[in-house]
Chains A and B, each alone.
Chain A
Amino acid sequence: MSAAAGVPDAIPGRRPADVVGSLLRRGGWTLGLIGLLVLLLLATKLIQPSYGLRGIQGLAISVLPLALVAVAQAIVVIAGGIDLSVGSMMALTSVVSAVLMENQSEALSIAVVIGVLVLGLVVGAVNGILIVVTRVPDIVVTLAMSFVWAGGALYILNTPGGGSAEWLRQLTLGSVGIEWIPRAAVVLAVVVAVIWIPIRRSRMGLSIYAIGSDPVAAHRSGVPVTRTKVIAYMLTGLFSALAGLSLTASTGIASPVPGPYTLLSVAAVVLGGVSLTGGRGGVLGPIIAVVVLSLLRTDMTFLNLNPNLATVAQGVILVGVVMFGSLLQLRRSRA
């Protein structure tokens, strides 16, 4: 019984050591990303010795909307879809929240926040239902709907404006407990822990992975495929609304023009180890990927690189990392 990892699949049943190995393999991509992040932080400190507490806090605040939208994109990609309207949904929910909250009481602003989250769910449901009912590919439907939601945002507010409740602004500023833990990071962790983790652990979460992995097998296993897909899109809408709210909170106003968030979210999902064909990955990888991407940009600024070149470099690094990953996978499947 000197069975090692290389034993062919003909003998099912393995020892605990192999189970640890498999855990490492499955979480390997995320661990690698964390390693990359640590290296980047060290590099940042080398390039800019004054980078410290304030840098970390600034990073957390600037990363929050992008991290939330990366989670949004990750959920729908895991379910085998893709949502190109997340940026527009962010703009729409941000504008609605800023317009309704401007100069309003605290109590009302809480109602507005809840209302905006519901709006996110509804908008996501519209995307999902259109895809399921018309059977038009996800990418086409969400691209079309991105214009609808962006247009809606501009209709409500045609120049940047509105306001944010003070408590919402404070939610992302400063730190919690010791000053090295930025409040924005805690907010992110709490939101993901409260919404995504219970779902992930339930049959609903399994179903989301199942329909992304193999819709036919999922159907045969008794999973309601279309309903699950709509729910995945609703969750994406919900997290996009959270991202929109965090935009309002961090800037104090809302802009009706969608930022570069849609494509960045796809990049973060890919870099975060979520398979674009669905069924594989998690939300932690994309969140770390977002931090990595932002930090890269910061470093390039510190290095006084031409910002246009910095964008080129970002793209090259993205392609490089993803290619490295698929090469690893190819080698493993051949071994």
Chain B
Amino acid sequence: MTATATDLLLEARDISKRYGAVVALRSASLAVRPGEVHALMGANGAGKSTLVKILTGTVRPDGGTISIRGRPRTIHSPGEARRGGLVSVYQDPALIPDLDIWSNLRLTATPLSPFREWLTELGLERLDLSRTARQLPLASLRIIDLARALAAEPDVLMLDEMTAALPANLTERVLEVVGRQRGGERCVVFISHRMSEIASVCDRATVLREGRTVGVVEVTARGAAERIVELMLGEILGDIPAQPEAAARGAARAGGETPRMSARGLSAGTKLHDVSFDLYAGEVLGVVALEGQGQDELFDVLSGSDRPSGGELLVDGKPVSFGHPADAIRLGAVYVAADRAEALLMQRSVRENIALPFTTRLADWGVIDVRQERRKVDGAIERLQIDTRAQREVRRLSGGNQQKVTIARWVAGGLRTMLCFDPTRGIDIRTKHQIYILLRDLAEAGAAVLLYTSELKEIQIACDRAIVIYGGRVVGEIDAAHADEESLLRAAHNLPPDAPTPEELAAEAIAAETGGGPAAGAPAADGR
């Protein structure tokens, strides 16, 4: 199973990268053989996207080496990567919106007839090349981008979340075409959150965790899916305060308490289809979802940034319709975003940022009562332990302190429902804990908190219960106190808790087909 360096088509060794104080990659390695479809996996924040950016030349690594066909290379731009035999297809297609498809092909010097052939293979034979990319739907653009990459016949084809939001029939075609790349001269690096896709087309998987390569798994081996999940998780952090009152609260709810906020069959955009839940005062309700399952759209609707295309939203049992975030804020529903830049006035002071939501209320227009403002602001700063050494400009604060400011401004103004969308993204561990404790305190004081987080650990630590969203629908509810991370991850992938997973079944089937695996003895494959 070992391959010498010259056998490898693509080899990245000990890649490291830090952004200021944040270490994105410590020591990531990736080795891909010819004829292989190789999965790159990792939980959010494991450094996957940074590694992809480095391999494609968008970001320069601080250390480590990259070689293609055994020759070391420094890749400065996607153009250079392309010339070196490495072509990527991104989640958002690299087609120029204002140019027609012809011109887009000319821009990358793509030969036309192989492009047409691949397009036909991928089920898009009747494409009018004189249309501008802007006029075509996203799914078609993805397919065009893939066909263009295949036509260039690269040594290494990198597919980054290629199948995300692709309709099922196209996904099938794509997987089939990718699967056919196996066994040839070239190789594919396949990045996806969907275990079933990995199981059906990949040979091996490299797993990243916290900026390190923690293992390479033979996907076709038995129990590979388990092994991958295990590697992605690592050891679980300790000191988890249990939520003993959760059961008691559940009982109270059965007694007919009106939920603070309820969603009934909400849908919006192309990703959110049917989401219903009840959020009660005094609880922290978690939202478990992989990236892009519709949670972004859900929070936009709940916070009044976007109107739902269907379904109903109730606050305190009464139907509401938010046309603007101000409508939501008036009803006490406030939003904390992952991206602090979305919420804060970066050039202004901590004080002004905290005071902004309550000084902009229409009723308070006119002279600002400075003393009252100061009292509220000081109270909030103290409560959240914001480091105010650099308070003249919010942008000079650390990410954690910035996030505290966005929370503080709602705490200072008073809130009933807090909608937190990945509030701890890119924040150090100590501040994270402070934020969990704060969310718990808010709930204790009678607020309702909805928490989406890309880190599953946080569900256990901060939530009473959690709903699972997959493919734009609520597919389950979990009692957080009794959920370990593995069951959460399984739920997020929409896998049943105990029964054999589709991945296992698929792996068995593949093993049976090739006759190499131990699963070859399955009854159906037995020769009679």
Contact = CB atoms under 8 A, between A and B. Distances in A.
A233 interface: no
Interface in A170-227: 203, 206-207, 209-210, 212-214, 216-224
B96 A217 contact: yes
A327 interface: no
Contacts of B130: 19, 22
B88 A214 contact: no
Interface stretch (B76-84, B190-198, B457-465): B76-84
Interface string B47-89: 0000000001010000000000000000001110011000010
Contact of A220 (B88, B99, B137): B88
Given A12-B126, A13-B128, A14-B128, A221 B108 contact: yes
A169 interface: no
Given A9-B135, A217-B94, A221-B104, A210 B128 contact: no
B169 to A, nearest CB: 12
A279 interface: yes
B318 to A, nearest CB: 32
Contacts of A297: none
Nearest to A202: B106
B140 interface: yes
Given A10-B137, A218-B96, A210 B77 contact: no
A222 B77 contact: yes
Nearest to A280: B98
B79 A223 contact: yes
Contacts of A218: 96, 107
B358 interface: no
Given A207-B107, A209-B98, A224 B128 contact: no
B77 A224 contact: yes
A222 B78 contact: yes
Interface in A247-285: 279-280
Contacts of B79: 221-224
Contacts of B103: 206, 209
Interface string A5-49: 000011111100011001000000000000000000000000000
A271 B327 CA distance: 39
A218 B88 CA distance: 13
B78 A220 contact: yes
B90 interface: yes
B96 A12 contact: no
Contacts of B140: 9, 12
Contacts of A11: 126
Contacts of B137: 9-10
Nearest to A19: B130
A220 B90 contact: yes
A237 B364 CA distance: 53
Interface string B400-411: 000000000000
B127 A206 contact: no
B98 A9 contact: no
Contact of B99 (A10, A210, A216, A222): A210
Interface centre among A13, A18, A19 (most CB of B within 10 A): A13
A19 B94 contact: no
Nearest to B108: A221
A19 B129 CA distance: 10
Contacts of B106: 203, 206
Chain B, interface SS category: loop
B78 to A, nearest CB: 5
A13 B120 CA distance: 13
B482 interface: no
Among the interface residues A14, A209, A214, A222, which one has the most CB atoms of the partner chain B within 10 A? A222
B423 interface: no
A11 B140 CA distance: 10
Contacts of A12: 124, 126-128, 131, 136, 140
B93 interface: yes
Contacts of B426: none
A332 to B, nearest CB: 11
B95 interface: yes
B414 interface: no
B127 A219 contact: no
Contacts of B125: 13
Given A10-B137, A222-B82, A203 B131 contact: no
A217 B133 CA distance: 11
Contacts of B78: 219-222
Contact of A221 (B83, B107, B127, B135): B107
B97 interface: yes
Contact of B58 (A14, A22, A207, A219): A219
Contact of A19 (B58, B109, B128): B128
Interface in B100-133: 103-104, 106-109, 124-128, 130-131
B151 to A, nearest CB: 14
A206 B88 CA distance: 21
Contacts of A224: 77, 79
Contacts of B135: 9
A209 B132 CA distance: 12
A214 B96 CA distance: 6
B123 to A, nearest CB: 11
A205 to B, nearest CB: 9
A214 B127 contact: no
A258 to B, nearest CB: 32
A18, A203, A213: most-surrounded residue (chain B CB, <10 A): A213
Contacts of A223: 79, 107
A221 B96 contact: yes
Contacts of B127: 12-13
A210 B136 contact: no
B97 A203 contact: no
B193 to A, nearest CB: 21
A223 B95 CA distance: 12
B191 to A, nearest CB: 15
A81 to B, nearest CB: 15
Given A222-B108, A224-B77, A224-B79, A217 B95 contact: yes
Nearest to A277: B98
A22 B101 CA distance: 14
A222 to B, nearest CB: 3
B99 A213 contact: yes
Contacts of B58: 219-220
A4 to B, nearest CB: 15
A276 to B, nearest CB: 13
A325 B126 CA distance: 32
Contact of B97 (A19, A213, A222): A213
Contacts of A221: 78-79, 94-96, 104, 107-108
B176 to A, nearest CB: 20
Given A9-B136, A12-B124, A209-B99, A203 B107 contact: yes
Contacts of B77: 219, 222, 224
Interface of B: 56, 58, 77-79, 82-83, 88, 90, 92-99, 103-104, 106-109, 124-128, 130-131, 135-137, 140
Given A213-B96, A219-B78, A279-B97, 20 more contacts: A12-B131, A12-B136, A13-B125, A14-B128, A14-B131, A18-B128, A22-B131, A203-B107, A207-B107, A209-B96, A212-B98, A214-B97, A217-B92, A217-B94, A217-B96, A220-B56, A220-B90, A221-B108, A279-B96, A279-B98
Ranked 5 nearest A-B pairs via Cβ: A13-B126, A222-B79, A220-B94, A279-B98, A213-B98
11 contacts: A12-B131, A18-B128, A19-B128, A207-B107, A210-B99, A213-B97, A214-B96, A217-B97, A218-B107, A219-B78, A221-B107
Interface of A: 9-14, 18-19, 22, 203, 206-207, 209-210, 212-214, 216-224, 279-280
